[in-house]
Amino acid sequence: MRYISTRGGVAPVGFAEALMMGLGTDGGLLVPEHLPTLAAERLRAWSGLSFQALALEVMTPFVGDEIPRDDLARLIERSYAGFSHPEVTPLRRVPEGGGERIYLELFHGPTAAFKDVALQLLGNLFEFLLERDGGRLNILGATSGDTGSAAIYGVRGKPRINIFILHPKGRVSPVQERQMTTVLDANVHNVAVRGTFDDCQHLVKTLFRDLDFKARHSLGAVNSINWLRILAQTVYYFYAWGRISGGDPARRVSFAVPTGNFGDVFAGWLARRMGLPVERLVIATNRNDILTRFVATGTYAKGEVFHTLSPAMDIQVASNFERYLYYLLGQDPAAVRAKLTDLEQTGQLAVEPAQHAQVQADFAATAVSDAETLAQIRRTFDASGYILCPHTAVGAAASRDRPDAVVLATAHPAKFNEAVREAIGREAPPPPALAGLMDKPVRCAELDASDAALRAHIDSTLDRA
């Protein structure tokens, strides 16, 4: 499998180079030259596999022969060995509204959030390739909450790797902040940016576009701009479908996906494009509703970033939207560049009516307020005793008219106990991974949202290493 850029400026590269490159050298996002399609017989055969065995099958066509199959299988096994549930991403059936709702629990990894599914594997793949090929890697990433801690836990203490994670100061939950800043390994460097997540994301992309700086410091990406993030998250859509359908290709399943950066729902779109029988993908957003407005109007227009009870979704510029735009525009890099120029110059882009019709065929979308989020947490708890994190509650509330949709439970509720307490008057019991977290010592730098300040910080930190 070879990978190209959504903007057309990268010669085709293999899986390993795409993994290490992260963001395309032309500023675009890397995508496969073609997407494999799966016959019904293969879906049926995969439906009863363990999560680890399924991950190996789903990923193999995208990896090719660059990593021997036995090595890839070993890396997958190691990546999920530390998850607290034997199924890795189990389904939970919860009484609700006179029936039941199915939640796909994605929070059984070491940082209790769905990002662990991809980032445990990404860290191990980075380590494998660096040991095999030599060299070092300095990871630069931005987080609205969960990506940072999951990335840190994926590479902490690994030789040949440093990691710099930016988070918006005061705009992540206290637990999310402590999960990052209490990791004191010498290769871990946290930065609180005085700004929003979009500011953090912009800084990361700015430094990646500086090809001299990127090459000098061997920068790599862990945000969902890295293709492996999307590929690994695709696996749990196949897993959930297999457990629900029993392998019957005629059984279609809908999913409600809390999303801010569009990566998780794009993974679902990718699974459907490959042939998974997905009925409907519901994009669930909070007050930061740029994606909901795009589905409704065909216009993608930037707005103010609002701080909400679901902070990991407090995003206006969704990185992975560019991947979807590439396919929506017929895999035409020139058309993608033109639309992104519109976005940069005017703050918005619009698609043609036929393309907008395709968007509405691909997705439903609903924005959920903080009040509705709290009401959903309360409603689910009253019906079943099951506690939702606010992001998962956004997914459930956005799909209330589709009770058959599987809701992606993206984080453990104990990571957001301020919202949980407000909704139900009590806190969610913490998983072992969060025990004693708030009492540990911390280390974190603080910077203005300036690329010059970030460059200087990275330079000085690596000079001291």
- The residues carrying an active-site annotation are 115
Angstrom CA distances, 118 to 21, 43, 389, stand at 17, 22, 20
In the block, tokens 């990185």 appear at: 319
Which residues, including other chains, have CB under 8 Å from residue 118's CB and lie 6 or more apart? Answer: 150, 228, 229, 231, 232, 233
**C-alpha 248: how far from chain center:** 28
Angstrom CA distances, 96 to 207, 245, 459, stand at 47, 21, 53
Give ∠ CA 393-236-116 in degrees, rounded to 5: 75
Strands (E), 214-318: 219-220, 253-258, 278-285, 299-301
Angstrom CA distances, 113 to 304, 328, 383, stand at 26, 30, 24
Dihedral angle at the C-alpha atoms of 35, 75, 108, 389, nearest 10 degrees? -40
- Report whether 59 contacts 66 (CB < 8 A): no
From the list 126, 202, 117, the residue with the least C-alpha distance to 161 is 126
CA atoms of 181 and 176, how far apart (whole Å): 9
From the list 415, 447, 458, the residue with the least C-alpha distance to 174 is 415
From the list 284, 291, 298, the residue with the least C-alpha distance to 402 is 284
At 133, list the tokens.
Answer: 């090929």
Q: Can you list the alpha helix ranges (DSSP code H) found in 304-450?
A: 321-328, 333-346, 353-362, 370-384, 390-398, 417-424
